[in-house]
Amino acid sequence: MIGNRGHVVVIGAGIGGLSAAIRLAARGFRVTLVEKLDRPGGKMGEVRADGFRWDTGPSVLTMRHVYERLFRAAGRDLSDYLDLLPLDPITRYFWRDGATIDAVADEEAMCENIRRAFGPRDVDGYRRFMRYARRLHDVVGNPFLYRHKPGWRDLISLPLTDVLKIDALRTMHQAVSAHFKDPHLVQLFDRFATYNGSSPYRAPATLNVIAHVEMAQGAWYPRGGIFRLARAWERLATELGVEIRYAEPAQEICVQGGAAAGVRLANGAVIHADAVVCNVDYTWARQTLLPGSARADRLEPSCSGFVLMLGVRGVHPELAHHNIFFTGDYRREFDDIFDRRVAPRDPTLYLCITSKTDPEHAPAGHENWFVLVNAPFLSPNFDWSSEADRYAQHIRGLLIANLGRAIPLAEPQAMVQVERRFTPLDLQMAYGGHRGAIYGFSSNTRTTAFMRPGNRDRDIARLYYAGGSVHPGGGVPLVTLSGLAAAECLAQDLQP
């Protein structure tokens, strides 16, 4: 399908850029997509080594209806491209006092899990919290998530009762603590702040909507790995006539008469266009692709991450596809990340094992462990170039110690057969993420959650943005929505 409504260049074949390209091609635009890597997906990649396979970026999918909407708008059925498996449990949680619980999407089953793990006193609190999270979704969904960034007129037009329901004056932690008495459950639901790189002790309670998205709507895993999603988006874009040019990095967004007019590549070639969609980190784009533009780093970056990809000997039935080993001092972990800006010495450990669902991701009798630790964005306070080896050794020891409290381990020091790692410095170098931030900007004040850059450039006509650093935020479903929002803005502006 080759469009005749105009030519659009999309910079970056991450999920936001691919989603925008798909939507625009389906609406009749001719689309050229340029990407500096040799593959689609951006941070959504994969690593293979010695018979092991790991996804390198996102590890869980929520809001399935967003992806179905994208494919349906292109006249396709998502199930023809991906086999999405519901995760049950979604996540298995471990605490150092021996407590553990499986988080599941079925409310009655979750209530029973809470009763067994922590007694009956918080069962009603869970029901109230989920009703509260659903109300948040109902209020913020249409004006904030499922469309381009609302303006002040849009916000002023909201009914006062809806404004109050947004719950932006409390922090996530304050709202969670108002619903649960048991500190284990408070910590569990505080964790959802990390889904957009923020602290539950600072982010507005509005972000408790994430609990509804995961715990009520469910979580999914594409058979074969999360990277299959990037390949599915690539396949659909190609079928619609999108020209994808890998290993061709953009060097400059060309601006003529105050409007985007194309893209200059690193090899000097210029691709002329009627509009440009930029799917790279917003701050990096303003600083490197738009020479002379104002700096765009006034908002606090989100947290980054330190990753270990471990090929491990043995099969451990006590572990699930997704596992969380909580720190004993959650507040200190976030103080380390956002105040002291140092890698936390005693962090919460996230452990994803896709070989639980896809056994071919590890040799027989082995598992592929993806270990993620939340880390500070890059600053002079912590030098990853000199500290990465020591920190990796520290995290391996911490992982073994946490596992040893929960499950029997045979020869733990000899478990790891293969190791690969990824630091915040690697994130910045590989993907252009400003200061190594995973999600662009944090939501650590009452206002910054609503101040992400919009999908239209405010100064340059016909320039649009998609990705986790712009509206509506980070995470695969929101990045997909950002691509759709950028495409919608562009289509409105280029109406004949």
CATH architecture of the domain 123-220 equals: Orthogonal Bundle (1.10)
Confidence at 452, pLDDT banded by 50, 70, 90: confident
Residue predicted with more confidence, 123 or 449: 123
* Tokens encoding 459: 């100064």
pLDDT 10s digits, 181-234: 999 999 999 999 999 999 999 999 999 999 999 999 999 999 999 999 999 999
In terms of Cα–Cα distance, which of 332, 496, 485, 494 is closest to 20? 485
Residues of the chain with CATH 1.10.405: 123-220
In terms of Cα–Cα distance, which of 493, 489, 402 is closest to 453? 489
What is the value of pTM for the model shown? 0.95
pLDDT of residue 4: 72
pLDDT 10s digits, 404-415: 988 888 777 779
Residues of the chain with CATH 3.50.50.60: 7-44+61-84+224-297+446-493
- Residues 6 or more apart whose CB falls under 8 angstroms from that of 452 comprise 149, 299, 440, 441, 469, 470, 471, 472, 473
Q: What are phi and psi of 273, to 5 degrees?
A: -155, 165
What average pLDDT does range 382-409 have in this prediction? 94
pLDDT at position 61 over 80: yes
pLDDT mean across residues, the chain? 93
- Find where tokens 């252009």 sit: 432
pLDDT 10s digits, 207-222: 999 999 999 999 999 9
What average pLDDT does range 136-158 have in this prediction? 70
Domain covering 7-44+61-84+224-297+446-493 assigned CATH 3.50.50.60 in the classification: yes
Name the percent of the chain in helix, strand, coil, to the closest 5: 40, 20, 40
Residue predicted with more confidence, 101 or 299: 101
* Tokens encoding 301: 């970056």
Q: What are phi and psi of 139, to 5 degrees?
A: -80, -45
pLDDT of residue 1: 41
Q: Residues of the chain with pLDDT > 90: what percent? A: 85
